[in-house]
Amino acid sequence: MTNSTADPVLSARGLTRRYGRGTSAYTAVDGIDLEVRRGELFALLGTNGAGKTSTLEVLEGLAPASAGTVSVLGMDPVADRRAVRPRQGLMLQSGGFPADLTAAEALRLWTSTLSAPRPVGELLAAVDLTHRAGTRISSLSGGEVRRLDLACAIAGDPELLFLDEPTTGLDPESRSRAWELVRGLKEQGTTIVLTTHYLDEAESLADRLAIMHQGRIVREGTVDEVVAGHPSRIRADLPEDAPLPPPLHGEAVLRGGRLEVSTESLAEDLHTLLTWSRAEQVPLRGLDARAASLESVFLALAS
């Protein structure tokens, strides 16, 4: 096995997923290309119904692609299931634990199906559930079940880990602990594919990301690459009798007393605006200036 960073652990060409037939047919994933390299954390973002989970299910080998080719660890995730499964970990969106088992029993049940499981006690500790080991699943909180899900996903020490919205339903503290855990796995060399609704999660964890919209990938790259070329924004409320704002590099729109500037030169335009405000004695109420972020890119694409 080569250990070069360019070595793709996962690749997809023209991945397509269709549901139904005839007039009710619906294309959830429309011929996307993906490549995830060894040791990388790759985030798949998208609005609800963008096709993230449908894509993930194909990559995980849970469903066949309607068209296109997928290679995971150099193998076909469906046909070579027996060889692929021991090397990958999965965290689904849904629990799937019998309600009457305790947390430790549920983990024992799961690890009994693995060829090389980590000890149950160690896994409970990794997700801070040691004190809940003897508690029935039915009495755990949603966030605790989510952490148990995560413990199952890492139980087999996978080379490749799929996390489908891993922190949905977690409180902020558990969320930051889950991030630490994910970072730790990445440092150990685990390749991670993650879907999330939280843009800060992707911004903080991902080496590279792709944004899906209506079954296609509309942006792909590092956070900086995705954000680059997107304008920054300045916003302020002007009084009714204010003079016209000065000429700016960016595009300024004044509507109903609200000034909105979309610009590539944030610092310069902001400076011009502030100087003008002082000279003309125009107050800039609710002044808000922000550089392009993953969030602004995402919102622009989704709308």
By beta-carbon proximity to another protein, the closer residue of 52 and 233 is 52
Task: Report the site for another protein in 125-154 (rule: CB under 8 A).
Answer: 152
Size of the site for another protein (CB under 8 A): 27
Residue from 108, 197, 216, 235 binding another protein (CB under 8 A): 108
Check binding of 115 to another protein (CB under 8 A).
Answer: yes
Check binding of 122 to another protein (CB under 8 A).
Answer: no
Residue from 114, 133, 218, 270 binding another protein (CB under 8 A): 114
Candidate ranges 84-92, 175-183, 199-207, 265-273; the one touching another protein (CB under 8 A): 84-92
Check binding of 100 to another protein (CB under 8 A).
Answer: yes
Q: What 8-state DSSP symbol labels residue 197?
A: S
Candidate ranges 104-112, 124-132, 176-184, 217-225; the one touching another protein (CB under 8 A): 104-112
- 19 pairs with which residues across the strands? 26
CA angle (127, 130, 135) in 5-degree steps: 110
Long-range contacts from 119-125, C-beta under 8 angstroms, 24+ separation? 123/151, 123/154, 123/155, 124/151
Rounded Cα gap, residues 98 and 96, in angstroms? 7
Residue 2 in tokens: 């080569």
Residue from 25, 79, 99, 267 binding another protein (CB under 8 A): 99
Q: What 8-state DSSP symbol labels residue 171?
A: -
The order of strands in the sheet holding 160-164 is: 88-91, 160-164, 191-196, 41-46, 208-213, 216-221
Residue 32 in tokens: 């996307």
Check binding of 239 to another protein (CB under 8 A).
Answer: no
By beta-carbon proximity to another protein, the closer residue of 98 and 121 is 98
Rounded Cα gap, residues 202 and 229, in angstroms? 19
Residue from 72, 97, 223, 266 binding another protein (CB under 8 A): 97
- Give the DSSP H/E element, type plus range, for residue 140: none
Task: Report the site for another protein in 254-273 (rule: CB under 8 A).
Answer: none
**124 SS3 class:** helix
Check binding of 60 to another protein (CB under 8 A).
Answer: yes
Instruction: List residues near another protein by CB under 8 A.
Output: 60, 62, 82, 85-86, 90, 92, 94-101, 105-106, 108-115, 152, 156
